[in-house]
Amino acid sequence: MIPERLRPILDQVRPVAERFEADGHRLYLVGGIVRDLVLGRPTDKSDLDLTTDARPEEVKAILAPWADSVWNQGEAFGTIGARKGDDTFEITTHRAEAYRADSRKPQVVYADDIAVDLSRRDFTVNAMALRLPDLELVDPYGGVEDLAALRLRTPLSPDESFNDDPLRMLRAARFIAGYDLTPDPELVDAVTRLRGRLAIVSVERIQGELSKLLVVDDPSAGIWFLADTELADEFLPELRALRVEQDPIHRHKDVLAHTIAVVAKTRPQLVVRLAALLHDIGKPKTRSVGPKGVSFHHHEVVGARMARDRMRALRFSNDVIDDVSRLVFLHLRFHGYGDDVWTDAAVRRYARDAGPLLDELNELTRCDCTTRNERKARMLAARMDALEARIAELQEEEELAAIRPDIDGNRVMELLGVAPGRVVGEALDMLLEARLEEGPLGEEEAERRLLSWWEARST
């Protein structure tokens, strides 16, 4: 009897599987969907990874009379795509691909045996297949057993696997964290020795894998793996540099442990997780020891610049770079107000500087508190609650997200009789400052302030 969770997938792939079978070829469902089916996890049947012993030309010949359309953009890598109705299929010939020592691109070699294809997969938990249409499980490397034992291994030796595709060393961190797997000692040793091989992998692939790691529910174990094996040094050297003590006298938590704890507390969304990972990277460069202990003056300023440089090197989008570096720059702003009563002006500035990132900044600020001192933690949480409540009140009264001077640049030029230029910018800055300090002025009062400012400036 077919398990109910498999029926939708089988119904989807049966027509194409039967065509391959009728032509004397075998078709298999492989990849993460097989692993998740074994685990009983939710699966996405729109993302099916199929492999066959048929060569690309044969695949096209099998699909062409049946499919609505066939495409061959991936044929150089053995992949043919097809669409039938609302279903899309990508079918790849069994292969055994490897990276040459000096190449970023895989060298594709076809294989006839599914076991050979599976041997070139990254980990045993991903090296399983379902033969179609009869749903026979093919597991030559013990993936099911490793899932049950929560063990991360490679189908072949770790050296061979990681030399085939060095990105797998970084991917291991994601599986350690995302599936609560413990890496075999041989795997850890291989990553530590072979980490330099990551240099042949494109920056875009590295960035993509890092991003996937950061948005698993709790990436802590994966980040520790990157630090402990020193793999992070190959693409994020700032990470291990965080192993500096906050307090060398009492040996309080080091910055790396604090950083990973902050990442784990934030929600699994890329911008806020990246900001959590990078929020203290300026500390090693700004660390100083004085009579009152360790200090990291202006580490948020240095850190924002470092974060921008590192994300550029990793080819993140400009929007992500801008948002994350801004959060790093602002992450201490809440603490800068001290224990005094918050003024409306202070709240306006905080909200205006955060802009559309206000929720993310508040979350990062909350999560940045990892103290074990319960009294201090309660005090910081209460202060943050009070700030958010006051922001909510002012949001209703003043639309904080849209704070701007009460008159625009055109009106400034009209009143002062000046052309566009620096004077207009200075006038608007003055009016914005007044708006932040006092709240809405109204057009009439703003114009009066502008003319007074202009008169004083001209004398």
Average pLDDT, the chain: 87
Greater confidence (22 vs 381) lies with: 22
- pLDDT value of residue 104: 57
Find the mean pLDDT for residues 68-83: 91
Whether the CB-CB separation of 128 and 34 falls below 8 Å is answered with yes
**Is it the case that residue 415 has pLDDT exceeding 90?**
no
**Is it the case that residue 2 has pLDDT exceeding 60?**
no
- Cα dist. 16→26, 132, 134, 137 in Å? 11, 9, 13, 18
In SS3 terms, the chain reads as CCCHHHHHHHHHHHHHHHHHHHCCCCEEEECHHHHHHHHCCCCCCCCCEEEECCCHHHHHHHHCCCCCEEECCCHHHCEEEEEECCEEEEEEECECCEECCCCCCEECCECCCHHHHHHCCCCHHHCCEEEECCCEEECCCCHHHHHHHCEECCCCCHHHHHHHCCHHHHHHHHHHHHCCCEECHHHHHHHHHHHHHHHHCCHHHHHHHHHHHHCCCCCHHHHHHHHHCCHHHHCCCCCHHHCCECCCCCCCCEHHHHHHHHHHHCCCCHHHHHHHHHCCCCHHHHCEEECCEEECCCHHHHHHHHHHHHHHHCCCCHHHHHHHHHHHHHCCHHHHCCCCCCCHHHHHHHHHHHHHHHHHHHHHHHHCCCCCCHHHHHHHHHHHHHHHHHHHHHHHHHCHHHCCCCCCHHHHHHHHCCCCCHHHHHHHHHHHHHHHHHCCCCHHHHHHHHHHHHHHHHC
Count Cβ neighbours within 10 Å for each residue of 373-398 and write b for 16 or more, e otherwise: eeeeeeebeebbeebbebbeebeeeb
- Point out the least confidently predicted range of 300-304, 368-372, 413-417: 368-372
Query: Which residue from 192, 271, 273 is spatially nearest to 234, judged by alpha carbons?
Result: 192
**Is it the case that residue 99 has pLDDT exceeding 70?**
no
State which CATH number among 3.30.460.10, 2.40.50.140, 3.30.300.30, 3.90.25.10 fits the domain covering 4-146: 3.30.460.10
pLDDT confidence tier of residue 266, bands split at 50, 70 and 90: very high
- pLDDT value of residue 251: 46
pLDDT confidence tier of residue 443, bands split at 50, 70 and 90: confident
Q: What amino acid is encoded at 313 in this protein?
A: A
pLDDT in tens, 43-60: 776 668 899 999 999 999
Question: Above pLDDT 90, what percent of the chain?
Answer: 53
What architecture (CATH level 2) is domain 236-401?
Orthogonal Bundle (1.10)
Tokens for 192? 């530590």
pLDDT confidence tier of residue 250, bands split at 50, 70 and 90: very low
Residue extents of the structural domains in the chain: 4-146, 236-401, 405-458
